[in-house]
Structure 1
Amino acid sequence: MSKRDEQVDDAPDDAQPPTPVRQEMSGGREWWTDALAETYCEMDPQWESPRGRFEARLSTRQFGDLSLSTVRAHAHSVLRTPAMIADTDSEDYFLCAVTGGPGRIEQHGRSIWLDKGSFAVIDAGLPFRFDFPQQFEQIVVRVPRPLLLGRMSERDVDRVMAQPVSAVSGAGVVVSRFLQQIAALDAAVPNASATALSASAMDMIVTALADTGGAVSPTQQAHTVDLHRAQNLLKTRLHDENLSITEAAAELGISLRYLQKIFQSTGSTPSEWLLQARLERARMILLSTEITIGELASRVGFKDTSHFSRSFRNRYGISPGQYRQR
């Protein structure tokens, strides 16, 4: 049997453990201080009246690559300082959607109010402050840094950070409703479905963020549009093992040099981005099918199974077969 026809002995997809149902906890001030650090990152809760009544409820669930939680709590503020950042290595992003009671976010020299399902993204690697003047409820999505930076340039992420996204118009409506539906799920979701849906959620979030963030120069706006066009083209051609970056540039009607330039803002080259997109697609297919590793390699655009297996191991630390078995 050739390597391309290699089979992997693993359990059928419906035998894989589903993503766990949400876990709920509640408590007072001391518990809440610890829960914030364990669930998100180190923060300092503050109360106007230290002796007044305070109770917080936290509901969490893992959803594919995203960690989603619902917070219900009495009025208070939370502060993340430079000293806290220096003591930890948390650099994830947090999408915060306020679904009950208004809240104010301060970060990056910006101060915004959120309510009625509107949301914003903040950076745990930078100081921030939340103020909730009354009892509130919000949904928080923890987004691993590579997931967002793989879809937006660092410049664009900086532009949209701590900027409000409306839940009454545009793509923000879809994102807000989707997050609320996921947060309300009582049933477990199969891992394969959760992984695929979390990837779709990230694409929707990026679309909603791209519509906000204040004014940009016409040149920057054109670069962002062209980058999204290029990424979408490459995504539709992941299966094409003969696709070259030069050919992609020609299909887009831009020069190869310009294509390489707009990808510099993502911290990668077009070829590197295409490779990572192929490996991410392979990872999701591994969780939802039982096709051979050789067939999988071909489906995501690799001419050689050995090259695919090496690339997958370099990316995820284990072979495709081991990843499927886990």
Structure 2
Amino acid sequence: MTLALDSQQVPSDASRPWFDGLTRHFPGLELVRGDGRDGAFERHELGPAELWVIAAHNHAIRHRLPATCLRERVSVVLQVEGEGRVAQAGHACELRPGDLTLIEGSAPMNVEFDGPYRQCLLLLPRRGVTDLPIAEAAGRAMRGEDPVDGLLGRAIAGLPDAVARLGPVGRGELAASLGLMLRTTSALQRGREAVRRHVRVERAIALIERELADPELSPARVAAGQGVGRRHLDALFAAHGGSIERWIQERRLQRAAQALRVSRESVLEVAVAHGFRSASHFARAFRRRFGAVPSAWRGEPTGGGS
């Protein structure tokens, strides 16, 4: 990979190590590994936004004191060549060519590369994307092969060629378009995530319905069936008014209540058929839910409870 970048944007840094030049623009950067000499960068103004293209070799960087320019902007990183790791806000991700991530300018971060790399860093005014969940997205990978994220990645990848052909007005308009694209991408991803959550809950409910009679059915087993942890699935069920455990209990009681009205089976047989281990456990849970013991429920008119 060629590290030399053709740029007239930072002539004052041409005789200094590239990392020292970066720290003049981004105070707070600390070189943890590497000598800071083998690299290059260029900077382009896009109206209120900035585009940086950075190329270097094996090193690790820590950002302890975020610069004001980062706090006031949303930073979008596109990995163009090589691979790296970004950690911030309790999240960490591996970046391959074509992948993106967002950087929260008000929080410390760590960046690490094991070989040569090239990145595009797009700084957009924060005021134009105030509705974005930056802290939640920071340090999470947006994959280049994703049909939604890939659109943004390809747009940023084409910026170095585009800015060379545009005047100041055109560059400002381009930055505004990229801000809109970032908002649209984020909205599409949030919508798709909502669909994934809905599908996961629906599948979990279907599993519960199939295995409701099994007394060994547990929240952990339901979560494992969806390939997620119980805590995560419980959080999804919270939107439906409760936890997995409460959902299982409620469905067992609802089914048992219906069976008591139409079946000639004993209370114990109904309890066992709906996943309860004993008649006493069933009776206590039933009374808490419907306000009557199972035997009394059988004598009530149809339509009481639900």
Bin for the TM-score computed over the shorter chain: 0.5 to 0.7
From 68, 73, 78, the equivalent of 1:97 is 78
Report the CA distance between 1:115 and its aligned residue: 1.2
| Residues 196-275 of structure 1: pairs in structure 2 closer than 5 A | 196-212=173-189
Equivalent residue number for residue 162 of structure 1? 139
Distance (Å, rounded) in 2 between the aligned partners of 1:162 and 1:22:
31
Residues 164, 212 of structure 1: 8 Å contact kept:
no
From 96, 107, 124, the equivalent of 1:126 is 107
Partner deviation per Cα, 1:5-52 (whole Å, 9 max, x = no partner): xxxxxxxxxxxxxxxx86266769x6333322233342101225x5xx
Residues 175, 205 of structure 1: 8 Å contact kept:
yes
Distance (Å, rounded) in 1 between the aligned partners of 2:117 and 2:55:
6
Report the CA distance between 1:212 and its aligned residue: 4.4
Amino acid at match of 2:47: G
Amino acid at match of 1:55: D
Distance (Å, rounded) in 2 between the aligned partners of 1:190 and 1:90:
25
Partner deviation per Cα, 1:65-88 (whole Å, 9 max, x = no partner): 21001111011011012xx24x85
Counterparts in 2 of 1:212 and 1:40: CA distance versus 1, 3 Å: farther
Equivalent residue number for residue 71 of structure 1? 54
Equivalent residue number for residue 176 of structure 1? 153
Counterparts in 2 of 1:41 and 1:206: CA distance versus 1, 3 Å: farther
Distance (Å, rounded) in 2 between the aligned partners of 1:109 and 1:127:
10
Distance (Å, rounded) in 1 between the aligned partners of 2:112 and 2:96:
12
Give TM-score scaled by structure 2 length: 0.54
Amino acid at match of 2:159: I
Residues 67, 143 of structure 1: 8 Å contact kept:
yes
Amino acid at match of 1:79: R
Amino acid at match of 1:141: L
Q: Which structure 1 residue ranges, 5 or more long, are not aligned?
A: 1-20, 222-326
From 10, 35, 47, the equivalent of 2:21 is 35
Distance (Å, rounded) in 1 between the aligned partners of 2:103 and 2:17:
24
Choose between structure 1 and 2 for higher RCO, CA contacts under 8 A separated by at least 6 residues: 1
Counterparts in 2 of 1:128 and 1:168: CA distance versus 1, 3 Å: same
Distance (Å, rounded) in 2 between the aligned partners of 1:177 and 1:88:
28
Equivalent residue number for residue 116 of structure 1? 97
Equivalent residue number for residue 121 of structure 2? 140
Q: SS at the partner of 2:17?
A: helix
Report the CA distance between 1:161 and its aligned residue: 2.1
Equivalent residue number for residue 62 of structure 1? 45
Residues 41, 90 of structure 1: 8 Å contact kept:
no
Partner deviation per Cα, 1:207-247 (whole Å, 9 max, x = no partner): 223344799778x99xxxxxxxxxxxxxxxxxxxxxxxxxx
Distance (Å, rounded) in 2 between the aligned partners of 1:27 and 1:211:
42
User: Whose Rg is larger?
Assistant: 2
Report the CA distance between 1:186 and its aligned residue: 6.7
Aligned length: 189
Distance (Å, rounded) in 2 between the aligned partners of 1:157 and 1:184:
28
Percentage identity across paired residues of the two chains = 17
Residues 96, 140 of structure 1: 8 Å contact kept:
yes
Q: SS at the partner of 1:99?
A: strand
RMSD over aligned CA atoms reads: 3.1
Residues 26, 69 of structure 2: 8 Å contact kept:
no
Report the CA distance between 1:60 and its aligned residue: 1.1
Distance (Å, rounded) in 1 between the aligned partners of 2:191 and 2:184:
15
Residues 50, 122 of structure 2: 8 Å contact kept:
yes
Residues 18, 37 of structure 2: 8 Å contact kept:
no
